[in-house]
Amino acid sequence: MKKILLIFLLIMVSLSLIAWKPYPGFVFEDPVITGTPTFDDGSIANAALADGTAMTGLLAAGVAKCTHVAHSDGSPVELLAADTSDRTIMVYVVCSETAAGDPDVDIGETDTVNKFIEDLAAGAWTDADIYCSAGTLTANKACIATIAAAGTAGEFDIIVWSFPVP
């Protein structure tokens, strides 16, 4: 669990979050990390994190996946494939185009489309807004973005971090 927390804190620092706008109910405090992280069990190579490219290292290690989603994409958009085990995930949304026309985008899992985020910002996000949620992705279910109403504009990148349930 300490490794997961350290990875989470490293990611937050590496993304240089200045204007943090959390999803309602999510509490975030600005972490400060010094020194070089060490993982003795080799689960994530030290070099992947030590050179300042934490996100690249996590993507390469298969711990995270980034997907670009537009309001007009077909639905659902798979953000993370199903696995045979429950996983703890963190969903991080960075808006890259201001929404227009009241798009309704939910983030959840197969059969529970709004499990993590219900109607992202009520269809009123703006460029550079950031939203975050976390929870347990049920075994044999994919993490998906469902576009219930397309609206006329709105795009974002969704990063999903995945960790085994302890």
| pLDDT value of position 165 | 79
Q: What tokens does 164 get?
A: 């085994």
β-strand pairing of 130-137 with 143-149: unpaired
Residue type, 165: V
Q: CA 17, CA 55: separation in Å to the nearest integer?
A: 14
Full-model pTM? 0.66
Q: CA 138, CA 86: separation in Å to the nearest integer?
A: 5
3-class DSSP state of 114: strand
Output 49 or 134, whichever has higher pLDDT.
Answer: 134
Number of domains in the chain: 1
Find out whether 103 and 154 touch, Cβ atoms under 8 Å: yes
Query: pLDDT averaged over the chain?
Result: 74
Output 149 or 17, whichever has higher pLDDT.
Answer: 149
Mean per-residue pLDDT, 47-61: 53
Domain with 135, as residue range(s), is: 2-164
Find out whether 116 and 133 touch, Cβ atoms under 8 Å: yes
